Structure 1
Amino acid sequence: MTQALRELQSANGATFTTVADHTVPDRFGNEAEVWQAIETGVVLHDRSHWGRIRVSGDDRLRFLHNQTTNSMQTLQPGQGCDTVFVTSTARTIDLVSAYTLEDAVLLLTSPGYNQKLIQWMDRFIFFADKVELEDLTERTITFSIMGAGSDALLEKVGAGSLVGQPCNNHLLLNINGIETRIAVGCGLALSGHTFFVEADRAADLWKQLIASGAVPMGEQIWEQLRIQQGRPLPDRELTEAVNPLEAGLWYTISLNKGCYIGQETIARLHTYRGVKQQLWGIKLNQFAEPGSSIVANGQAIGKLTSCTQSQNGYFGLAYIRTKALPSELAITVNEQQGELVNVPFLTHEYP
């Protein structure tokens, strides 16, 4: 069902890569144009490899409220939030965006995590629970636009009513005959919006967005942005070795919502300021392999989780022992100097 989309993207100059068993554009050969569009215009990124789950049934909000870190039960149709699935000991599984519909909740998961989360949630659905799970990943497509001109593009396609609304608010709209759900936010700390469409209309929507001025962006630059912004990814920064507070995902955590899986551990960490490590950005002089040790004053104080070439050298993400901070600490990675820096997606302070 995505063949027409891939042919259209190929005509736009795409070369492809495989992520989570999905073929997606890696590059469009327009890197300089993309970086300029992020600053002054708008880019279009294919997120079809991200998972989409529909959670329905009368108990859906209560169920998700009890399964994840953010407050869900007060959400009204058209609203949404980011939230984290965690284990009973508050170890991270995935950061998801949740969108409340009239009769369901739509979850946007990390690539390859749709079936993993369905299997996880299914363990906690009991006989009397009115909750149903449906994997929409193969039937639907997700695109995100981002950049300074994203609001202007929304106006062009007739979705200007979303401009200025809170992150994850969303509407079901008709864009030149294409039924599309549009949400505020693009998955990064950039101005942007996310589009959900049936797979058989995805090529038509892509064409409309390109015609409206969006510059196509591949997975390679998205990964660079992800690391520079500090968005943690499962199997890299989000593992069962860390909790959401360590991962800097404070904004996804409700401290007064009551009981949920992992709540006791998170409450204890918050009350007693027990966060032992924190996720930071690191400027580097050269590439370093993820897993490399971060060293200060001759001692290992952390571990690199991701690294990419940036427009100004190299940039990585790393967990740093809290007791080893402050941020101006002189560090080395593989005997090369580095600098700890704040990244916009993460928070280190206790509220």
Structure 2
Amino acid sequence: MSKLFWDAQVARLRLNGSGARQFLQGQTSADLNALASGDLLQTCWLTATGRLRAVLELRLDAEGADVIVLAGEASAVRAGFDQVIFPADRVRLQPLAPLRRLQWLEPHAAALWCDPDAALPEPWASGQPASAAAFEQWRLQSGFPPGPGELNGETNPLELGLVAQISTEKGCYLGQETMAKLTGQAGVKQQLRCWSCPNPLAPAAKLTLNGERAGVITSALDHDGTWMGLALVRRQCLASSTLEGPNGEQLRISRPEAFQDPEA
């Protein structure tokens, strides 16, 4: 059987100008200072209070930077950037343009950007694009990228295990103060977890542990007669391997393959 890969048609946001690196440094959560030209880096776009708005992947070059959105809305990212660009930033936004992104279905696998009309290079040409169902199953097992239920305007990246996309050492950026608090003494109130159950359950279903509130389902999928998905589980319930659904359903709880704790 051919190896499966994630084959995504995405919108590329181009930033032209000598100030592209510094502008993105102040608007996103990862540290771009040491990023080499041509390398890909994932980062988060946050609100001022640290809520996750989008997961981005970007690439710098001598003339500026390219940005794609792995989770979230590309048009919203472009509009948000446009609102805060000033002449002193030395950045010009270009219209969104199509791009093809390839990644093997493995946590933290390297990605390849290519022209949408170009022939696939090896070894991708010998692989097989994952179907929508196969990709969703992998996403739920991996916990990445966040779907609409996880990227709901209320979650922060540390709750979703996106530690690798957050810098705790670089200077000020949008949402930095909240990230510093959460990686310090405060910690997060909930974390993303995988669940499976023989009974059907839907997003927004409440979970309990010993009759007490334990979390909420964010994504669900029927896979060969077994239901699986993602849930946000309260911190005090994370040690439990089972939780109950709203009608007493027994859910097995596990850690997503791509999830990283702040301590990591």
Same fold (TM over 0.5): yes
CA distance in 1, matches of 2:122, 2:263: 40
Structure with larger Rg: 1
State the secondary structure of the residue aligned to 2:231.
strand
Of the three residues 196, 205, 213, the one matched with 1:283 is: 196
What is the distance in 2 between the residues matched to 1:61 and 1:320? 36
In 1, Cα distance between the equivalents of 2:239 and 2:162? 19
Moved over 6 A (4+): 208-211
Worse-superposed segment, 307-316 or 89-98: 307-316
Matches within 5 A, 1:98-113: 98-110=58-70, 113=73
- Please tell me the residue identity of whatever aligns with 2:119: L
Task: State the Cα distance separating 1:234 from its structure 2 match.
Answer: 4.8
Give the residue type in structure 1 aligned to 2:107: A
Which residue is equivalent to 1:331? 243
More helix by proportion, 1 or 2? 1
The letter for the 2-side match of 1:54 is R
Going from structure 1 to structure 2, the CA distance change for 1:255 and 1:122 (only over 3 Å counts) comes to same
- The yes-or-no answer on 1:248 pairing with 2:148 is no
Where does residue 220 of structure 1 map in the other structure?
Answer: 133
1:54 aligns with 2:14: yes
> 2:4 is matched with which residue: 43, 46, 52?
43
**Bigger CA drift: 305-314 or 69-78?**
305-314
Paired AA for residue 106 in structure 1: D
The Cα shift of 1:101 comes to 2.3
TM-score (norm 1): 0.69
Deviation at 1:52, TM superposition (A): 1.4
The yes-or-no answer on 1:126 pairing with 2:86 is: yes
Tell me whether 1:144 sits opposite 2:58 in the alignment.
no
CA 1:293–1:145 in structure 2 vs 1: closer, same or farther (change >3 Å)? same
For structure 1, the 5+ residue unaligned runs are 1-35, 148-187
Answer whether contact 1:51 1:111 (CA < 8 A) is retained.
no
2:84 aligned partner, one-letter code: F
In 1, the alpha carbon distance for the partners of 2:109 and 2:149 equals 25
Cα offset, 1:84, TM superposition: 0.3
Q: Please state whether the residue corresponding to 2:41 is helix, strand or coil.
A: strand
Write out per-residue CA displacement over residues 227-286 of structure 1, whole angstroms, 9 at most, x where no aligned residue: 111114253212221111111111111100011111111111211133111111112223
Q: Distance in 2 between matches of 1:192 and 1:111?
A: 17
Q: Deviations over 1:3-60 (max 9, x none)?
A: xxxxxxxxxxxxxxxxxxxxxxxxxxxxxxxxx43xxxx2344311x22111221111
**Structure 1 residues 311 and 251: CA distance shift in structure 2, 3 A:** farther
Tell me, yes or no, if structure 1 residue 268 matches structure 2 residue 228: no
Deviations 1:186-214 (A, max 9, x none): xx5164532320x4xx1x515x6699422
- Residue identity opposite 2:172 in structure 1: C
SS at structure 1 position matched to 2:137: helix
C-alpha distance in 1, partners of 2:126/2:238?
Answer: 44
Given that 2:221 and 2:228 are in contact with CA atoms closer than 8 Å, whether structure 1 keeps it comes out as: yes
1:238 maps to what in 2? 151
Please point out which of 61, 65, 75 is paired with 2:25: 65
Return the offset for 1:94. 0.6
1:145/1:214 contact within 8 Å kept: no
1:194 aligns with 2:106: no
Letter in 1 for 2:29: T
For residues 103 and 327 of structure 1, what CA distance do their matches in structure 2 show?
Answer: 51
Q: Aligned pairs, how many? A: 263
> What is the TM-score normalised by the length of structure 2?
0.90
- Structure 1 residues 212 and 320, CA, compared in 2 at 3 Å: closer, same or farther? closer
Query: Does structure 2 conserve the Cα–Cα contact (< 8 Å) formed by 1:51 and 1:110?
Result: no
1:85 aligns to what SS in structure 2? strand
Q: Distance in 1 between matches of 2:81 and 2:227?
A: 38
CA distance in 1, matches of 2:191, 2:144: 13
Q: CA deviation at 1:300?
A: 1.9
> Which whole-Å CA distance do the structure 2 matches of 1:80 and 1:211 have between them?
18
